[in-house]
A and B are shown apart, each in its own frame.
Chain A
């Protein structure tokens, strides 16, 4: 049975962090499993956690009035969900729902935020890493938005 420290130090996102930072992060984290249909985050509510997906699949969703939920994107194994804990007002902008049984490591954003204020080195490292996720997600979202498979019927 792997410890949180072991898991984090092997994760592609964290593996180059120095060991005391890893320990600190592990200290802020817990294992959490979500069943299909359970929410990891609710639109408008406080975003105190972010999640490392170890197994399973989650959907980023939005509910239009009177309609069914629209899934904007799904996120799977080894990916990271949640960056709203970094920026005020620290609220989820979408619903984050598990579609399959999903094993995660939930990391306490508030705890990390405080530590980053004290230790700017850690803050800088985490900012760089989260920016990378955001940029990657932004590019993927832009590609998705292009609607490249749409039928462009001849003029």
Chain B
């Protein structure tokens, strides 16, 4: 860590930063407590953050728990991800009208709201980069995604604690945010003090920082930040990760493994995992008309490979069984994604594990497949 790019600020300055964003017409979205979970929504002030709260997560388990301190970012990720704003769950693409003169189209505006994402975790910023590959780096660019992306300030937070379902460390996507931020914060809180170590990531970030009071970080402060991040890292090392060695080949090789039948017995095909996953990008398009049939709208909405309609060809669904759909999801997320986009589709955020109603753990499934794969090879 270069001393020159790290600054120390306290909560008051963070509040100032907050109002400067608002003064410039930004809407700040970030974590807050709603429906007994920490979700992303519009924040009116710093006080809307889940101050003094943390979460307890496990396969199929999510609970909020009060902390003993007043940390602003003392929790891990909840069911929402930032795709809620960059790739909304429902969006109108265009509408069309038919009359005697013909058919006219009206394209939905691509104008984006100025947003600040406050509190992005490393797994999440990496997930955004992964979705960038889908929506921005192919032959066709999604103009809605692009405009929102270009109009969003990214304020990331380095994790200083990891939950049992976190495994960004094994996916190489955290816990420290390495890129994509305008400003990055590491919260230091103990009995004596409460402050933030700030790293600047862009000119915009620097400009906002210039308008609040900062002091350059002392060695002790930078060490505290480093230690905090390491703490998260160590916690994850104690837990489960994924062995990603040649994982795409392993998954292709094991498409007919009996392990898929086992997980299919438990999977409800509820699509929760795809809804909470920050990188899932599948969508559906729907054409709806009014009663006259002369006005129609096309809407794009989130879809899931767990839905029967997803693989529908005339005659029926190609992936009719739950087993084939679970296999599709996992093989794609961890395997074919690499061949498609050059990196894994998984950032190790653990949401799919936490929010699976039957507690299926993708890390366990990989391990089980590898075990069966190895015993096959030894034969």
Contacts and interface: CB of A to CB of B under 8 A. Distances in A.
In the complex, A touching B, CB below 8 Å?
Answer: yes
A114 interface: no
Nearest to A152: B315
A145 interface: no
Contacts of A155: 316
Interface in A113-155: 152-155
Contacts, number: 7
Nearest to B312: A154
A150 B314 CA distance: 11
B210 to A, nearest CB: 61
A126 B316 CA distance: 45
Interface in A53-79: none
Nearest to A150: B315
Contacts of B316: 152, 155
A155 B317 CA distance: 11
Majority secondary structure of chain A interface residues (helix, strand, loop or mixed): loop
B225 to A, nearest CB: 58
Interface in B287-325: 314-316
Contacts of A152: 314-316
Contacts of B314: 152-154
A153 B316 CA distance: 9
A155 B314 CA distance: 8
Interface in B194-246: none
B193 to A, nearest CB: 65
A147 to B, nearest CB: 12
B320 to A, nearest CB: 12
A62 B269 CA distance: 50
A38 to B, nearest CB: 43
Nearest to A153: B314
A155 B316 CA distance: 8
Interface in B79-108: none
Contacts of A154: 314-315
B226 to A, nearest CB: 59
Contacts of A153: 314
B287 to A, nearest CB: 16
A153 B315 CA distance: 6
A72 B316 CA distance: 29
Contacts of B315: 152, 154
Interface in B44-87: none
B171 to A, nearest CB: 40
A83 to B, nearest CB: 36
B127 to A, nearest CB: 36
A22 B314 CA distance: 53
Nearest to B315: A152
B284 to A, nearest CB: 16
A51 to B, nearest CB: 40
B313 to A, nearest CB: 9
A50 B315 CA distance: 42
Interface in A9-30: none
A153 B314 CA distance: 7
A123 to B, nearest CB: 41
A152 B314 CA distance: 7
A152 B313 CA distance: 10
Nearest to B316: A155
A154 B316 CA distance: 7
A99 B316 CA distance: 40
A154 B314 CA distance: 5
A6 B314 CA distance: 53
B310 to A, nearest CB: 15
A155 B320 CA distance: 14
A142 B292 CA distance: 49
A61 to B, nearest CB: 31
Interface of B: 314-316
7 contacts: A152-B314, A152-B315, A152-B316, A153-B314, A154-B314, A154-B315, A155-B316
Nearest 7 A/B pairs, CB to CB = A152-B315, A154-B314, A152-B314, A155-B316, A153-B314, A154-B315, A152-B316
